[in-house]
Structure 1
């Protein structure tokens, strides 16, 4: 009698279950899991890149994209089930994970691609090593406007909403002003906890921001506090339209990172922010940057290989090829895959600023700070924006200094929350 193939399969599965899997395991390894911040079109492009990169490796790559990256990663680590690779934008968080032995040092060519200032070397257990590599970078210190808008008396678009991280567009303002007023050395010491928050130079950056924004009505302030940095939706409710196009925002200029180019068409221009920030001319060639860095959380050798492939010139070019014009990634100048032949003049201009004209790049200060201090900075910016009085500012800066002091007290002898010192890097040569 011939047995049904379905009965044979069922018998095989029962045997496997009874044997608790012994003798039934396949030779195929588990998929490598990558946790990252990109969703929507960005996430789809990165997922397609992973599919292209797994060719010939014998491994399958699975991508999990989330806007709640820190919360998701912490939950997975608490469950003792971290991803093989995670992509984070916070040096403060990465430093904490590395010094608590949650990360694996990079190996091979990936370690050579730990470009400054995105991936400074870190001393852990008395060894100086590289723990993450920038995959995608963003240029900050930019101002967006319509091509015909006058720069003589700009009115500023401000949208501070961003779910759990609301306030970061305001911290970007203060960081950028401080960088251009005081220069990279002072900025670096402040961002890494070696300058007090109530220092007069730091306070001056906050008051400069308030003065540049000018007088605002209560309705305007509330609108900025409750509106996303992405602006409103188009009439159909299907796509974001950018703050320059959002009804109710009577503004001509926007201080924002390079990534917002996906919100606008070809009728905008982008300029270095230095001329708008009441800074010193000698600091005009200094730019603030951000980045999305890949770190290895597992002992699987395939995770190291994946980061090496992603960070290679070939991997970056594949990513650009998979991404649409509005979400094409930018890379450090040493990483290849420049937007040659791109028909987008805004993208070409940003790439020129990042790779050719910038003399010094400094990493986003709040993303260098320990998460506790970074979050307090975000909240203080929201309070100051609502009421930029001098007395309020003094109180807020005292509170931030108290957070810094308390962290020094709580973690004395524990360097897990101490960021690396070198977060600015010369781009000469």
Structure 2
């Protein structure tokens, strides 16, 4: 009886946990479940890749399970022994957590074609535990070229200019992250990769030195845009630019509300926020069960063939595979070129690398600041959170995480 009912219980549990599950599979086929956070155009792009895989593997049925609260739902599934076969891991911190808890299984995937830092963060020695299937460049300043002069490529110069900034912080369970990324971007530019990496690794104080300076700089920069920012969706904030309500936006192309033709002709375009180091991110996929069909699917997701399909679907995905160089949208292709260029040092977003509890507190503090709370008590509270989680003091720092690297052309 247990053997007959266990798969049904597992399916029912996951369907109850998740907001959307495409199906529970077709009889007679191997089923691969994958938990994903994407919706709208992002999901449609991913599903186009799924359908290509299923055409080439008619004996395998891929079942995407869609949730807006991926971290919470994945934790619940792992705790209930109802793990999906595969899951998207949206941060470096999530990879570290599940690997340390021995929930992530080693992958038989060739990542040699991927550029650093994307390749190394899913590895432990020579073992691969997660592969980047969708990348982004976060350190971009967007503007309407018809009405706004090209902004300076420096936070110092931008702070001295008179700009109105598009700012929205609402993003469901992870609301606050756009401000956290922005603060980290300023710190990276002003203080350099060493200070940035130490802070993201838990060794930097929040309420003094470069971190306090970056927070203050961000607060001054967006002071005129904080009203209602905590309840304004991050994509809706960018729509204010198209309606002439603000002049500059910050973030990845995929976080902007632009249609493909609006960026194709450089109507809305960008400058990197620094000439030296830029924030990047990726959605990784990791394996949680020993389903052999899941091995075949994750190898396909990481393949150059699948990546070429994905980046030319809606959603403005970028690939960290250096062999993927042809993009239908030229602006998207230029941004993807940053990932292959030795001109910049690329660093994963600090909040993505932090302990998930620290990241959550960081996001909450950004929202509280936008709602009128003073910054210093918020930063002192973040210090306490970090200390309670057992991080070393700045005088005795932990080893830094390998968050930054410069792509090396081959």
- Is TM (by shorter chain) over 0.5? yes
CA distance in 2, matches of 1:386, 1:27: 52
On the 8 A contact 1:34/1:86 being kept in 2, the answer is yes
Query: Paired residue for 1:300, among 275, 291, 313?
Result: 291
Question: Which blocks of at least 5 consecutive residues in structure 2 are unaligned?
Answer: 6-25, 152-160, 393-397
For residues 357 and 121 of structure 1, what CA distance do their matches in structure 2 show? 18
Task: Name the SS of the counterpart of 2:76 in structure 1.
Answer: helix
**1:122–1:420: 8 Å Cα contact kept in structure 2?**
no
Please point out which of 315, 319, 328 is paired with 2:310. Answer: 319
Q: Contact conserved, 1:339 with 1:351, CA < 8 A, in 2?
A: no
**Residue 243 (structure 1) shift:** 3.3
CA distance in 2, matches of 1:242, 1:182: 32
Does the aligned pair in 1 maintain the 2:30–2:293 contact within 8 Å?
A: no
Deviation at 1:40, TM superposition (A): 1.6
Superposition pairs of residues 77-96 of structure 1, within 5 angstroms: 77-96=78-97
Q: Following the alignment from structure 2 to structure 1, what is the Cα–Cα distance between the partners of residues 99 and 75?
A: 14
Residues 122 and 49 of structure 1, relative CA distance in 2, 3 Å threshold: closer
Question: Structure 1 pair 67/113, CA: closer, same or farther in 2 (3 Å)?
Answer: farther
Distance 1:52 1:395, change over 3 A: same
Q: Distance in 2 between matches of 1:196 and 1:226?
A: 29
Tell me the CA shift for residue 202 of structure 1.
0.9
Question: How many angstroms apart in 1 are the aligned matches of 2:399 and 2:51?
Answer: 34
Contact 2:148–2:247 (CA under 8 A) maintained in structure 1:
yes
- The answer to whether residue 346 in structure 2 is matched with residue 361 in structure 1 is yes
Equivalent residue of 1:395, what SS?
helix
Task: From the CA coordinates, give the structure whose radius of gyration is larger.
Answer: 1
CA distance in 2, matches of 1:168, 1:318: 29
Distance 1:122 1:134, change over 3 A: closer
Residue deviations 1:204-238 (CA, integer Å, cap 9, x gap): 10111122224x3xxx5332121100117xxxxxx
1:143 is matched with 141
Alpha-carbon contact 1:37-1:87 (below 8 Å) kept: yes
| Aligned partner of residue 120 in structure 2, secondary structure | coil
Instruction: Give the Cα separation in 2 of the matches to 1:301 and 1:20.
Output: 21
* Secondary structure at 1:163 match in 2: coil
Of 311, 328, 347, 2:332 maps to: 347
Residues 266-296 of structure 1, C-alpha deviation per residue, up to 9 Å, x if partnerless? 421111112xxxxxxxxx2211001100101
In the alignment, is the contact (CA less than 8 A) between 1:229 and 1:243 conserved in 2?
no
Distance 1:262 1:68, change over 3 A: same
Cα pair 1:158 1:243 within 8 Å, conserved: no
Structure 1 regions of 5+ residues with no counterpart? Answer: 1-16, 233-240, 275-283, 412-417
Q: Which among 315, 319, 323 is matched to residue 331 of structure 1?
A: 319
Deviation of 1:27 after TM superposition, in Å, equals 10
Counterpart CA distance in 2 for 1:131 and 1:427 is: 21
TM-score (norm 2): 0.81
CA distance in 2, matches of 1:195, 1:113: 34
When residues 213 and 103 of structure 1 are mapped into structure 2, their CA distance, relative to the original with a 3 A threshold, is same
1:32-51 map, 5 Å = 32-51=32-51
Kindly report which structure 2 residues correspond to 1:393-412, keeping only aligned pairs within 5 A, or say none. 393-408=375-390
